Amino acid sequence: MKQLGIVGQSVKRRDGLGHVTGQTQYVDDVFYPGMLWLRMVRSPVARGAIRRIDTARAEALPGVVAIVSAGDVPNNWYTILGLIGVGPPDEPVLAHEEVMYQGEPICAVVAETEDIANEATSLVKLDIEELEPVLDVEYALNAEAPVIKKWGSNTFIYDGMNHRRLRFGDVDAALKQADFVVDGTYRLSPIEHVPLETHCCVVKPEPDGRLTVHTNTQALYFSMDNTAIILQCPSNQLRFLGGTVGGGFGGKVDVITEPVTCIAALKTRRPVKWRWTRREEFQNSSTRAGVKMEYRDGVMRDGRIIARKVRSLQDAGAYHRHSPYGAQKHMANVGGPYSIPNVWADVYCVYTNRQPSSAMRGFGVMEASFAIEVQMEKIARTIGMDSWELRMINAYRNGQMRPVRKVVEDAALVETLQAAAELAGHELPAHLRAMHSNDTGEQTGNHAYGGGGSRL
Amino acid sequence: MTVTTLFTPRSADEAVDLMRRHGSDLVVLAGGTIMMPMINDGALFPRQVMSLRRAGLDGLHTANDHVEIGATANLARVAEVNALPPLAEAARTVGGPALRTMATIGGNLFAHPPHGDLGAPLLALDAEVQLAGGRVLALEDFYAERASGSRAGTELVTALRVPRPQGQSVYLKCGRRQGNTTSVIAVAVQVMIGSDGTCSDARIALGAAASHPMRARRAEEQLRGRLPDGEICAAAAEEAMAECEPFTDAIASDWYRRKMIGVYVRRALEATLSIHVGQ
Amino acid sequence: MDTTTVTFTLNGTTTALAVSPLTTLRTALRENLHLSATKAGCSQGGCGSCTVLVDGEPTLSCLLPLALIEGQEVTTLEGLSTRGGLHPLQEAFYDRFAAQCGYCTPGMIMAAKALLDRNAQPTREEIREALVGNLCRCTGYLPILEAVEDAARRLSQ
């Protein structure tokens, strides 16, 4: 074994000394002479048609320098996954005709101090005709629900269909053959990341016409490219500076501060800072998607799960952001790390008039894992089998075909469970200790090889 | 906050004078832990603010039968008033040390439920509120006056007079976390047991279970004159559940609050009895 | 604009600042004095990232108007290291990986300092109680508790 220099060593954090001395720089630590402050006016209602935005009283407040609204945005669409072909563009950078969630940004006030900007936002008069919102994923699919997306559906359209499909084997036939059918419905509320540092962006216009952008995004190039698309400028006009993010967890991957702050800087020809309040971070920043998951598993007496039928509704909130991708990942993972020869999944990316959800720590997958593992417990109790045994019988093995049509390589779940049992002081019976990731179907009484066959 | 003036009166009289002159335009800060978050959040934009920090209202005087606590005494000090166990316990479990350095007992009376943890133990101890100008009223009446929108909202609280407990007293708080947590509900009880072993008097006070801290008087009736045992405690808990008026918020639903009132009133009563039995 | 001049001691040095009337201690530190160690996590008193010491007591600087600490002593994280060296709390946090994003770290260290100044041999439970007003979203808290225990050991040597 080669002697390695760093792998296997305990290495102190490069930024550790900065953190413990308070010298680490965060975006809110950036100040420029003459810097202005931006605060956002946001929709008070979940859904509505904008009739009029009256900024006269706000503009009259001494110290207010500019208002930034939809008309100031060169290309008023934010579609982060547009870069990988997801569409159509659905999220305005600043709302103009309608509002689709409570807290949606409508217009920004830029002023000499943050306090003045804040007070000015309360002076903007919004005339919004409230419309019936869709606030629940099941209701969104109901024929009676208002259709809130402009393509005529409350779901993302995947290849002409209103859901993502996974079809592997013959699930209905397998369910009929199963000794037990175990149903479970699992719901997850949206979860907010609560990074200690809120979103923050500082933009300084440079004499050569470029913009220097300090941002605590987790995705510097995504942010720069999307900002360039929104500003309709070549990306070499932008100089994006990232650095230490005071907690992201997926909550700082949307391009949610840079474009408007850039426009404010261009409009005023002065540096501008926009820092979010904790309230905005909780109520307006993206969250993990809420989701409703329905699982139906067909199980044999000997513990083999031979069928899984899933219907899952992901709550994307008002706009795409990363949800069409999250829903797709979710679909790919409904089998879990188990070998199930017949799988059917319908996964819907549903739009509601709620805070848009986006990325968070394994989004799409973690939700599936939660449902799957609780479902495994339900199965174990239903058929009267030990939990460890149930998992180890069904754990995927090398060479098996997964529902997403990929052959398993480098499987290690069996070995991981064995190691976990030892660490937990749980003694596994001999036949479970004898299992390994390369054992064949005959030994475990398990699973399909090659194409998606149904082994009953 | 485009505040033009921050007043720091050096006495209650000076403070009252400022309140009279500026009326409802004046925002009053005791510890600042209620008003400053609102100002920071842009929920209000005051022009005149008055701090009571230097108004000399932070005295603490322990007498034979009561403790007089100045309105701006901070929770860190209230947490050490061993003469008033349920009050000290409540103060200990508000926020963290830094918050307790700043939050005051007087300010706590103005906190909006589910905040305002000191209300329940103060009610259970028959606390009185002293207002500038000499008026004294029972805390229960203070809450009632504030709720009805009448006088007590505009007068300056200068101190609380809190009798030492005559019976056994317990404070229990139900929160979603183990510390630094807003109350789901809180319960404070004081039970006086006579020489014949029956309950001569009882106080059962509920926090975060209504629009302000309240006495559960029907629950108290279950105890008076009776030999308290598990069944009596359970009956009192049932009454408390029925007479509270819980609300739903981000912390808990009204349903859950009501259930927890039942659980915690029973636990608190049983705890006072075991303290009594242990003596 | 109305300003008020406030004189106080900051990390051992007498400091006078002209600020608008309700400017908080935190804003004064970060924006007037460019001492950015003290953080701005919530402005509600809920996260503890703005914790500093005022006359040795842990205090939420986001809720405290500077004008109210006239004549008092303020200690921030910047005042902790002496002559360029690290305070044992800083060493312990560094050695024990008690910081990831670093945002809660200044508040945590100041809250821990307030504890160790009063109680040189705290139990794990006492440390937990002392830090209960400081939130961390990255570390899961255990490395922080261990770092404070470690610092207490170092200080006693």
Q: Nearest CA to CA, how far is A194 from chain C (Å)?
A: 7
Q: Is ipTM beyond 0.90?
A: yes
pLDDT at B278 over 50: yes
Answer whether A16 sits within 8 Å of C99, measured CB to CB.
yes
pLDDT at A443: 46
pLDDT at B152: 56
The residue written with tokens 């919530």 in the block is C42
Residues B108 and B201 in one domain: no
Answer whether B2 sits within 8 Å of A115, measured CB to CB.
yes
When pLDDT is cut at 50, 70 and 90, the band that residue B153 belongs to is low
> CB–CB of A137/A357 below 8 Å?
no
Chains in contact with A via at least 3 Cβ–Cβ pairs below 8 Å: B, C
Residues B38 and B71 in one domain: no
Can you tell me the distance from the alpha carbon of A318 to that of A90, in angstroms, rounded to the nearest whole number? 9
CB < 8 Å to A116, chain B: 2
Answer whether C101 sits within 8 Å of A16, measured CB to CB.
no
Is the pTM for the entire model greater than 0.80? yes
> CB–CB of B35/B110 below 8 Å?
no
Pairing of strands C73-75, C4-10: parallel
**What is the average pLDDT across C99-128?**
98
3-state secondary structure at position A262? helix
CB < 8 Å to B51, chain C: 65, 67-68
pLDDT at A8: 87
Q: Which amino acid is at A239?
A: R
Can you tell me the distance from the alpha carbon of A281 to that of A279, in angstroms, rounded to the nearest whole number? 5
pLDDT at A454: 40
Can you tell me the distance from the alpha carbon of A265 to that of A246, in angstroms, rounded to the nearest whole number? 24
Residues B244 and B227 in one domain: yes
Q: Which of residues 240-259 of A touch C (CB under 8 A)?
A: 244-249
Query: Which of B41, B177, B253 would you mutate first to test chain A, the one with the most A CBs within 10 A?
Result: B41
Q: Nearest CA to CA, how far is C98 from chain B (Å)?
A: 20
3-state secondary structure at position C33? coil
Between A115, A277, A279, which is nearest B1 by CB? A115
pLDDT at B279 over 80: no
Can you tell me the distance from the alpha carbon of A395 to that of A392, in angstroms, rounded to the nearest whole number? 5
**What is the average pLDDT across B60-78?**
97
Can you tell me the distance from the alpha carbon of B40 to that of B141, in angstroms, rounded to the nearest whole number? 32
Size of interface A-C (CB pairs under 8 A): 98
CB < 8 Å to B32, chain C: 63-65
Positive or negative: CA dihedral C105, C109, C115, C116:
positive
Residues B117 and B191 in one domain: no
Lowest mean pLDDT: which of A164-168, A382-386, B79-83, B225-229?
Answer: B225-229
Chains in contact with C via at least 3 Cβ–Cβ pairs below 8 Å: A, B
pLDDT at A363: 96
Residues B180 and B158 in one domain: no
Instruction: Search chain B and give the residue with CA nearest A118.
Output: B42
Interface of A with B (CB under 8 A): 39, 115-116, 118-119, 121-122, 277, 279
Buried b (16+ CB within 10 A) or exposed e, B172-191: bbbbeeeebbbbbbbbbbbb
Answer whether C133 sits within 8 Å of B98, measured CB to CB.
yes
- 10 Å CB burial of residue A14 (0-12, 13-18, 19+) is exposed
Cross-strand bridge partners of residue C59? C52
Helix/strand/coil percentages in chain A, nearest 5:
30, 25, 45
pLDDT at A203: 98
CB < 8 Å to C90, chain A: 20-21
Q: Which amino acid is at B103?
A: A
Would you state the structure tokens that stand for residue A448, as one six-digit string? 């399909």
Can you tell me the distance from the alpha carbon of B153 to that of C21, in angstroms, rounded to the nearest whole number? 25
pLDDT at A456: 34
Answer whether A122 sits within 8 Å of B45, measured CB to CB.
yes
Answer whether B1 sits within 8 Å of C22, measured CB to CB.
yes
Give the start-to-end residue ranges of the domains of chain C. 4-79, 88-156
Would you state the structure tokens that stand for residue A205, as one six-digit string? 């216009």
Answer whether C90 sits within 8 Å of A20, measured CB to CB.
yes
CB < 8 Å to C133, chain B: 95-99, 180
**What is the average pLDDT across C130-151?**
98
Answer whether A13 sits within 8 Å of C39, measured CB to CB.
no
Percent of chain B with pLDDT over 70: 98
- Domain made up of A164-191+287-444: CATH architecture: 2-Layer Sandwich (3.30)
- State how far Cα B33 lies from the chain centre: 15
Residue of A109, A114, A2 lying closest to A60 (CA atoms): A109
Residue A89 preceded by cis peptide, ω within 30: no
Interface of B with A (CB under 8 A): 1-2, 41-42, 45
What residues in chain A have per-residue pLDDT under 50?
442-456
Question: How many domains, in total, are found in chain B?
Answer: 3
Answer whether A277 sits within 8 Å of C43, measured CB to CB.
yes
- 10 Å CB burial of residue B47 (0-12, 13-18, 19+) is middle
pLDDT at A393: 95
pLDDT at A4: 85
Name the E strands within A61-118.
64-68, 98-99, 105-111
Between C21, C62, C128, which is nearest B6 by CB? C21
- Numbers of helices and strands, H then E, in chain C: 5, 5
Mean pLDDT of chain B: 95
Q: Which amino acid is at B17?
A: D
pLDDT at B200 over 70: yes
pLDDT at A1: 66
Residues B89 and B175 in one domain: no
Instruction: List where CATH 3.30.365.10 sits in chain A.
Output: 164-191+287-444
Residues B11 and B98 in one domain: no
Can you tell me the distance from the alpha carbon of A29 to that of A202, in angstroms, rounded to the nearest whole number? 10
CATH number at residue B17: 3.30.43.10
pLDDT at C83 over 70: yes
Write down the CATH number for the domain with range C4-79. 3.10.20.30
**What is the average pLDDT across C123-128?**
98
Query: Which of A112, A118, A276, A283 would you mutate first to test chain B, the one with the most B CBs within 10 A?
Result: A118
Between C97, C100, C106, which is nearest A22 by CB? C106
Residues B274 and B188 in one domain: yes
Class of domain C88-156 (CATH, top level): mainly alpha
Can you tell me the distance from the alpha carbon of B97 to that of A225, in angstroms, rounded to the nearest whole number? 45
Q: Does C110 touch chain A (CB under 8 A)?
A: no
Q: Which strand ranges, in their side-by-side order, compose the sheet holding B214-215?
A: B168-175, B183-193, B199-207, B214-215
Instruction: Search chain C and give the residue with CA nearest B45.
Output: C22
Q: What are phi and psi of A384, to 5 degrees?
A: 75, 40
Q: Which amino acid is at B246?
A: P
**What is the average pLDDT across B63-70?**
97
pLDDT at A257: 98
Q: Does C21 touch chain A (CB under 8 A)?
A: no
The residue written with tokens 């991981």 in the block is A416
**What is the average pLDDT across C103-132?**
98
Interface of B with C (CB under 8 A): 1, 3-6, 8, 29, 31-33, 36-37, 39-41, 49, 51, 53-54, 76, 95-99, 101-102, 179-180
Can you tell me the distance from the alpha carbon of A103 to that of A124, in angstroms, rounded to the nearest whole number? 15
CATH number at residue B187: 3.30.390.50
Size (chain C), residues: 157
Name the residue range of residue B43's domain. 5-51
Q: Nearest CA to CA, how far is A309 from chain C (Å)?
A: 36
Answer whether A119 sits within 8 Å of B2, measured CB to CB.
yes
CATH of the domain spanning A27-131+193-283, picked from 3.40.190.10, 3.90.1170.50, 3.40.50.150, 3.10.290.10: 3.90.1170.50
Name the E strands within A90-146.
98-99, 105-111, 125-130
